[in-house]
Amino acid sequence: MSTPPPAAEPHPAALDAPRPSAPHGPDPAKVRAAVRGGTLAYFVDQFDIYLPIVVLAPATAYFQAANLSASTTALLSSLVFASTLIGRPLGAVIFGHFADTVGRKRTTLVAVGGFGVITLATACLPGHETIGIWSVGLLIVLRFVDGIFLGGEYTTAVPLAMEWSPRHKRGLYASIITSTSPGAYVVIAAITLLLLQLLPSAGLHSSYVQWGWRVPFAVGALLAAVLFRYYLKQVEEPPAAMTGERHKMPFVRLLVRYPKALAQVFVLMTGTWLATNMEAAVTPVQLKAHLELSSKGVTLTMLVINGAAALSYPLFGLLSQRIGRRRFYLGYGLSVLVIGAGSYSLLMVSHGGLGAALGWGVLIGVFTVGTFGPIAAYLTERFPGSIRSTAYGVGYSLALIAPAFYQFYLQQFDGVLPAHLAPAVLIALAGVLISLGGFLGPETKDVDMADDRTIPGLS
């Protein structure tokens, strides 16, 4: 391995073969193709991840026995969502390895093809009336496998887009990419609203419950096919100067060489995913169970919440480019603690119906999941090029596991807090973890992706 020139101050990241920056800026056409690809990839990923939360909520009876208790039904529904989240870290390790050793583009194509097939298979599942408990079991298994491919897709596509991006625009480009997450939720909610408007959803044998829910899954599979073709035809591998010297075991290298950096990212992302699960998975349940909104009212409220979040992401990305990633996460975590948890609590005690839900929903959307605004830039700036895909994927996904079991944590508040207020405590905890994660990490916005010596704070 090479070492820094004698005139340069030694830095631990220099052991990962420092590379000089390219004498000319990146090709604008290749930058646009990579950023568009990353944006489409993130949208398709998030579209797929939110499908069971929104689309299957009115069709629960299709997969589960009618005599199940409310708590068992909620547990099985949470396992459908959690199984996808648990599969994502495994996918990050597997596909991150190949992205760092074989190439970003080829690995992306395999991951996209995989989750396209699984999503289409999910749309074809038989129900409980046909195969009994195997129906929900197969759904959970397919979502787990889907999570593996999804974890591989963003592990490769997002670092590729960031490596092509000029440093002064990384915050903006990252936020455009990640804004497609709440944007995808909005699209799914709109499709579901339309289907519920056109198809009856009352009862096991209603049109929506029997086949209407399959339409968005088929759309997800079609989007995967479009994404596959785009990467095949339009996107190129980043320059070798960005990806650096290849190592045979990038995951092992990440754990051995950079444990402190990984631990810091783990704290930040644990808070991020905890807030996300409270917003995306728990809030719609409480809107229906506590505020007694109709299925259409819940879907409309979640559309507004996520629409507000999508609009805020580019502002947060630009803000992080101006004040720095570290300061942004310190401040944003405090905002989640005060405004995010407060807005959720005030909504739950308002009893103001759909109007109150839409009003407070805007604040909930902006101040629970805004961490994602500059996250693609921050995580790729945080690690050297030779392990960047692995580090990004693992850092992004590893923290998914603990927050995925949010239903078990909420049950611990039984008898202490009402069920509709307990999520506010976890939102507040999420804010603390986000601020702590930002505090423990260095500033990264000026990192040169082609020179590992500019990456601060590596152990």
Dmax over CA atoms of the chain, in Å, equals 75
In a domain, residue 76? The reply is: yes
Write down the pLDDT at residue 323.
97
In a domain, residue 358? The reply is: yes
Write down the pLDDT at residue 13.
41
Write down the pLDDT at residue 20.
44
Residue 360, pLDDT above cutoff 90: yes
Write down the pLDDT at residue 408.
87
Residue 204, pLDDT above cutoff 90: no
Mean pLDDT in residue range 63-84: 76
In a domain, residue 2? The reply is: no
In terms of pLDDT, which residue wins out, 245 or 382? 382
Mean pLDDT in residue range 205-220: 89
State the DSSP code for 400: G
Of 43, 453, 89, nearest to 266 by C-alpha is 89
Write down the pLDDT at residue 25.
58
Cα separation, 141 vs 350, in Å, equals 39
- Residue 244: pLDDT band by 50, 70, 90 thresholds? low
Write down the pLDDT at residue 332.
98
Mean pLDDT in residue range 237-263: 79
Computed over every residue of the chain, the mean pLDDT equals: 86
Least confident of 45-59, 214-228, 302-316, 372-386: 45-59
Mean pLDDT in residue range 62-74: 75
- Residue 242: pLDDT band by 50, 70, 90 thresholds? low
Residue 2, pLDDT above cutoff 60: no
Q: How many domains does the chain have?
A: 1
Up-side HSE of residue 123: CA atoms within 13 Å toward CB? 19
- Residue 246: pLDDT band by 50, 70, 90 thresholds? low
Mean pLDDT in residue range 249-270: 93
Cα separation, 144 vs 149, in Å, equals 9
Residues 89-148 have pLDDT tens digits of 899 889 988 888 888 888 889 999 998 999 999 999 998 888 888 988 999 999 999 999
Burial tier of 177 (Cβ tally within 10 Å: 0-12, 13-18, 19+)? buried
In terms of pLDDT, which residue wins out, 441 or 1? 441
Write down the pLDDT at residue 240.
59
Least confident of 49-58, 153-162, 208-217, 237-246: 237-246
Which phi and psi (to 5°) does residue 443 adopt?
Answer: -80, 140
CATH of the domain at 412: 1.20.1250.20
Write down the pLDDT at residue 202.
76
Residues 22-62 have pLDDT tens digits of 444 567 888 888 889 889 988 988 888 888 878 887 888 88
In a domain, residue 356? The reply is: yes
State the DSSP code for 399: G
Which phi and psi (to 5°) does residue 364 adopt?
Answer: -60, -45
Of 458, 443, 394, nearest to 88 by C-alpha is 394
In a domain, residue 22? The reply is: no
H or E stretch covering 79: helix 70-101
Residues 293-352 have pLDDT tens digits of 887 888 889 889 988 999 999 999 999 999 999 999 999 999 999 999 999 999 999 877
In a domain, residue 12? The reply is: no
Percent of the chain with pLDDT over 90: 44
- Residue 5: pLDDT band by 50, 70, 90 thresholds? very low
Mean pLDDT in residue range 238-265: 80
What is the domain extent for residue 336? 28-454
Number of other CB atoms surrounding residue 124 within 10 Å: 9
Cα separation, 165 vs 154, in Å, equals 16
In a domain, residue 5? The reply is: no
Mean pLDDT in residue range 386-415: 88
Residues 138-171 have pLDDT tens digits of 999 999 999 999 888 878 888 888 988 898 999 9
In a domain, residue 152? The reply is: yes
